[in-house]
Amino acid sequence: MKSFVILLIAALVVITISCSDKGSGGGSSGFPTIPDDDDWAWPQSGINTVVQIYAYPDKDGYVEVYVVHFSENVPQSCVIKINNDTIATPDSSDWDHESWWIDSLHVYDSYEYWDEVYISDDIDPGAALTYSVKINNTTDTGSLKIPYQVYGSFPDFDVEENYHFTWNIQQNPDLHYVFFYIDDDWEYVNKNWQLSGSTRDYTINKSIYQDFAGDDYWVDVILYAMTYDRTGDFLAFTFTEDWYYNDYDGLKLDIEKRKLHRQRLLKALLHDLQDE
């Protein structure tokens, strides 16, 4: 299962490029709405480079960096810095190629780079990380504020009832995202909702999943607290997360599936999750 997904931060530094739309203090207007359908790609929302920076809550000083760059050509050079320290310098052989197929007239090529690195600074909630990403001759810089951990209160899921849940977080992030996924091995439904940073509860209407009544199924409800920084066609974000899942057929959410959850947002639920 994909997770997109996922990068959170926003105590933002002034960027030299105009048309800047910051997350912190600027609401969620600059963060794209992610469609539910599979036939969609980030460039359709005016974004050509997406950078996720995820600070591991259980690994002091470690971050996960995930870059998706839309281009027909693989990046020849790249320098990634956090807090002015160079953490990665991937060359052209370090990128994975992906094709995002929309229709016969719209196919988007992307190159993706992932790394897990240690940075010397402590990474505490509310702390600001500065970043710099130089791909070929283009440099994007900014700052992200690490969100506080979000804690969800998830009741047991009943396919015949609306699903209402609440959460707590010490300080409002820029926005929340809720992802819902249900699968019975024959068909699946995925949905997502972008919510304001001040929201503390949500109800998923049973009309979305009531056709699964009487079947064996597994369910994921994933809650993200996100901060972001957008400048033109460049988007950086970070997040904390909590989730609910049922244990269908012995399935457990292991470490690899948690990583896929974080990638889910970046992938924007674009592919059949059963493929993972």
What is the residue-averaged pLDDT of the chain?
79
| pLDDT at res. 144 | 93
| pLDDT at res. 104 | 75
| pLDDT at res. 249 | 56
pLDDT digits (tens, 9 = 90+) for 131-159: 999 999 999 999 999 999 999 999 999 99
Q: Which CATH number is 45's domain given?
A: 2.60.40
pLDDT digits (tens, 9 = 90+) for 176-188: 999 898 888 788 8
Domain that holds residue 205: 151-226+242-275
Sheet architecture: strand order including 163-168: 151-153, 163-168, 201-204
- Residue 210 has a CB neighbour count (10 Å cut-off) of 12
Structure tokens at 93: 């052989």
On whether both 27 and 133 belong to a single domain, the answer is yes
Q: pTM (2 decimals)?
A: 0.79
| pLDDT at res. 193 | 92
CA distance 236 to 6: 10
Query: How many domains in the chain?
Result: 2
On whether both 84 and 70 belong to a single domain, the answer is yes
pLDDT digits (tens, 9 = 90+) for 28-40: 348 887 776 666 7
Whether 115 is covered by a domain: the verdict is yes
Among residues 247, 239, 196, which one has the least CA distance to residue 219?
247
On whether both 139 and 187 belong to a single domain, the answer is no
Whether 50 is covered by a domain: the verdict is yes
Whether 1 is covered by a domain: the verdict is no
On whether both 36 and 135 belong to a single domain, the answer is yes
Reported confidence tier of residue 262, pLDDT bands at 50, 70, 90 = low
Of 79, 112, 145, which residue is a domain's last?
145
On whether both 71 and 180 belong to a single domain, the answer is no
pLDDT digits (tens, 9 = 90+) for 191-235: 889 999 999 999 999 999 999 988 788 888 999 999 999 998 999
Determine contact, residues 165/221, Cβ cutoff 8 Å.
yes
